Structure 1
Amino acid sequence: MSVISFLKSKAFFKQLAIAVVAVVVIVFLMLKWLDITTNNGKFETVPDLTGKSIKVAEIELKQNNLVMQIQDSANFNPDYPKFSVIEQDPKVNAQVKENRKIYITLNPSGYRKIAVPDLRQKSFRQAKPMIEALGFKIGKTTYIDNIGKNMVLSLRHKGNVLEPNTKLPKTSVIDVVLGNGNRPGGN
């Protein structure tokens, strides 16, 4: 029997019909199975976790059949309590599947510590922007007898002299001791 005559035969069309029906049945069964296993059309609402502690956030997520995943800590935000949630993904009221991971970003316990640079023998004009760029604040400026007018002689924090590379929390207030341009002990 030639190929062309086989393709025109009754047996070929019968086998083709059986194959088409089998494919349709298998696709139908797979779609039903996917509907059941993926909970098609069933969603959980993401709760608002902002400002809540880790424990409270975990409890709320479990109640909504969701999983907490701590993503990272951000820069300290004084508007939120320590170790509380400051961001979440997906956002509040998003509709997600059961057991979806909700990524949260926590507020650290305080500002990160930054090394104080060695600014001795620099002019106040140079030192001030460097101090402020690191996130510190300029406190009192004190002048003492020194030939270098407005030259930084030392930095202080809460009355203590700061050595170079001392680490202080960001936003700390640094007092600056400057020279007044007069010779020590004379005119």
Structure 2
Amino acid sequence: MKNMLKYFISKEFFITLLGLGLLGLLAYLLIFFIFLPSYTRHGEALLVPDVYELPWEEAQNILKQKGLRVEVRDSAYYDDLEPLTVVSQYPVALSRVKPNRKVYLTLNKRVPPMVKVPDIEGFTLYQAKSRLESWKLGIGTVSTRPDLADNVVLEYSYKGRRLSPGQEVPQGAQINVVIGSNYGSGRSTEIPNLIGLTYEEAVNTLRQYHLGVGSVIYNPNGPPEEEGKVYNQNPRALPGDSLQVGQSVNLFIYGKEPEQLEGVEIEVIKNN
């Protein structure tokens, strides 16, 4: 025991301890500054190239040439881009990544999805355009036909096929419309009484009088038995009053705003 204590305080023990410490430090330096960097490629980084709007094959070749892997993650549809072009990438362009990092791409679909056509007959050209755009459709050719309903859509078609509400066309399709000409300009028509009618009944009645729908204001505070019915209109149907053909009537309806009136200017009267 005495000899062991004597060894622990001897010069030889401290030299041995110092040697072990130096060996440990050397091992640490070798692991963290030589072995790990070579294993993890520490310090190496690549800039991800920008492949947005490039064709799939070209984008794939560019990324692989940079030492990156490629995977198609999703697809979307944009009618202003060519099919199978890159619409997004992750990591984003100019990100710094390690070699062999996987880059995820979203490609533009070959075939556009089908969407349902909203009802635009009886609406002004501006309202029809707004409704179509809300369904990711557009206005194609606009032709006119002599009619009392000035600037109001009389019918609409796609590729020569006349359409009705609910029929399906490709997203981004351009819908051709026929609107009434100025035949009725300056002519007047009686203002119909719309009080008590539903929205659909009011629209059909206005069409019969060659008038359009203006703003639709919904009031959720009405009596339950009157829900969905017109309780006021502007202008009102007063004896002797009239409107020019093609003008619009604003509707005030009890109830909550429905979802099927996209493209019509809608307001909701809020609770006080």
Distance, in Å, in 2 between the alignment partners of 1:163 and 1:137 is 16
SS at the partner of 1:55?
helix
Q: Could you tell me how far apart the structure 1 residues matched to 2:17 and 2:164 are?
A: 87
Cα gap change, 1:114 to 1:19, in 2 (>3 Å): farther
For the 8 Å contact 1:145–1:182, the answer to whether it is kept is: no
Q: Which runs of 5+ in 1 are unaligned?
A: 1-5
Query: CA 1:77/1:182 → structure 2, altered by over 3 Å: closer, same or farther?
Result: closer
Report the Cα distance in structure 1 between the residues aligned to 2:52 and 2:131, rounded to whole angstroms: 34
Q: Which 5+ residue runs of structure 2 have no aligned equivalent?
A: 185-206, 210-272
Question: Aligned runs of 1:108-147 on 2, under 5 Å?
Answer: 108-109=109-110, 111-119=112-120, 123-124=123-124, 127-138=128-139, 139-140=141-142, 142-143=144-145
Q: Between the two proteins, what is the percent identity of the paired residues?
A: 30
C-alpha distance 161-77 of structure 1, shift in aligned 2 (>3 A): closer
TM-score by length of 2: 0.47
Asked if 1 retains the 8 angstrom alpha-carbon contact of 2:79 and 2:172, the reply is no
Task: State the SS of the aligned residue for 2:60.
Answer: helix
Contact kept? 1:155, 1:161, Cα under 8 Å: yes
Does residue 1:102 correspond to 2:103, yes or no? yes
CA contact (8 A) 2:82 2:108 kept: yes
Equivalents in 2 of 1:82, 1:44: separation in Å? Answer: 29
CA deviation map 1:134-153 (0-9, x unaligned): 2322342555779x887766
Measured after TM superposition, the shift of residue 97 of structure 1 is 1.3
Name the structure 1 match of 2:88: 87
> Normalising to structure 1: TM-score of the pair?
0.64
As a proportion of its length, which structure holds more strand? 2
Q: Residue 73 of structure 1: CA displacement?
A: 2.6
What is residue 43 of structure 1 aligned with on the other side?
45
Aligned-residue offset at 1:116 = 0.7
The CA deviation at 1:17 is 6.8
Q: Would you say how many aligned residue pairs link Structure 1 and Structure 2?
A: 173
Which 10-residue stretch deviates more, 67-76 or 169-178?
169-178
TM-fit CA distance, 1:23: 5.8
The match for 1:58 is 60
Cα pair distance change 1:49/1:119, threshold 3 Å: closer
Structure number with higher relative contact order (C-alpha < 8 Å, ≥ 6 residues apart): 1
Secondary structure of 1:99's match?
coil
Question: Aligned in 2, Cα 1:18/1:54: closer, same or farther, shift over 3 Å?
Answer: same
Shift of the 63–151 alpha-carbon distance from structure 1 to 2, 3 Å rule, reads closer
